[in-house]
Amino acid sequence: MMEALLKHLIDITCQRDHTLLNSSVVSALQALTGAEQVRVHELFRFRHQLFVQPKAWLQNGAVVLAEDSTQIENQGEPISRFPSLISAIRDRQNCVEEMTAAGARILWLPIWLNDKVSTCLEVTNPAPYCDNTLRVLEGILGVYRNYQSILDYSERDSLTGLLNRKTFDEKFSRLLAASAPEGAPHESEDERRHHAKAASQWLAVVDIDHFKRVNDQFGHLYGDEVLILVANLLRSSFRAHDRVFRFGGEEFVVLLRSTTLEEAHRIFERFRISVEQHAFPQVGQVTVSLGFACITQESPVVILGHADQALYYAKENGRNRVCYYDGLVSSGLLHSEMANDTVEFF
């Protein structure tokens, strides 16, 4: 037992990102408590509602990760479907037990970090656990919580809480891997790009307009406040499986998963309007410009470059607007740096 415990602790603490950490905690709990099912859920806010979304769970004895799953309909459920979890959070509990109609026991285990819960474990077992097993479970949870806080610190930007630039490459390749059509004949880049109804992944670069003026006029503290509020608007404008990064300064990057060009345009436009309409304390109105591009097999650097070019065009043409790279290229307003469809692999 001791040996197995140590092995799992080593496994949990050698992970470098949340996804792998979730995977190792699910296997540890399964192996050490013999649980029938272990799920890690993420709790997130979307348009002022709290949702619960499974991130890792067991299937036929193996761990399945939501990020690797191609089922994009898994967008989470409102927390109102989980009354036990609600009561655990309301009463600031570390553990609440629920009995299912079939007589199985579910332990709801919110992970408290700085007085907030953004992750929760659900452990199902047919029989109640003995004290010894409960203590092991508690210990694993403690290690998981501490390790999660360390990872948060290294993955997130300290001002806004968004993902930092360091994590971009890894998240980008995961998004690509999860969205590659399995077994389907591959469409060529050109087909994909011009197929407005086909679902693709999109990358947007967002930049606050005339941000220097905010700093100059109101001071850096108000500048920082604007960054935090824009980050909050970004967080609430995109879905749980999209990713939002602060790339530094007043520049943000969004990865939008599996949607059509039309929808992507609409989603980005909605975000632009929500910033335009937000009343920023003291500062008043703030606007953003946004450039976006389709994520193709080209390298992240090339795609970022495309979105940047579209952003530059938006800045040059009035700001407070959303511009699409391929749209600008095909209407002759931008010149593609790559004349042919060079595909880079590395």
Ligand X SMILES: Nc1nc2c(ncn2[C@@H]2O[C@H](COP(=O)(O)OP(=O)(O)OP(=O)(O)O)[C@@H](O)[C@H]2O)c(=O)[nH]1
In this structure, the dihedral spanned by the alpha carbons of residues 240, 249, 113 and 256, taken in order and rounded to 10 degrees, is 10
Q: Smallest gap, in angstroms, from Cβ of residue 307 to ligand X? A: 15
Q: Which is nearer to ligand X, 135 or 212 (CB)?
A: 212
Closer CB to ligand X, 211 or 245, in the complex: 211
Question: End-to-end CA distance of the chain, in Å?
Answer: 43
List, in sequence order, every residue forming a beta bridge with 280; answer none if it has no partner. Answer: 284
Which residue, 257 or 321, has its beta carbon nearer to ligand X?
Answer: 321
Check if 189 is active-site: no
Specify the residue for token string 């967002």.
Answer: 206
Q: What is the largest CA-CA distance in the chain?
A: 71
Catalytic-labelled residue, pool 122, 225, 250, 298: 250
For ligand X, the nearest residue by Cβ is: 223
CA nearest neighbour of 108 among 141, 76, 136, 62: 141
The contact set with ligand X (CB under 6 A) reads 159, 207-212, 215, 220, 223-224, 227, 249-250, 315, 319
Write b or e for each residue in 316-338: b if 16 or more Cβ atoms lie within 10 A of its Cβ, otherwise e. eeeebbbbbbbebbeeeebeeee
Tell the smallest beta-carbon distance from residue 294 to ligand X (Å).
24
Q: Min. distance of Cβ 172 from ligand X in angstroms? A: 23
CB of 273 to ligand X, least distance (A): 18
Q: In angstroms, give the least distance from the CB of 246 to ligand X.
A: 9
Closest CB to ligand X among residues 45, 278? 278
Burial class (CB in 10 A: 0-12, 13-18, 19+), 80: exposed
Round to whole Å and give the CA distance between 215 and 223: 5
What strands, in cross-sheet order, belong to the sheet with 200-208? 163-164, 243-248, 251-259, 200-208, 288-294, 322-324
Q: Which is nearer to ligand X, 208 or 261 (CB)?
A: 208
Q: For residue 251, what are the CA distances in angstroms to 209, 285, 291, 327?
A: 10, 18, 11, 22
> Hey, which residues are catalytic here?
250
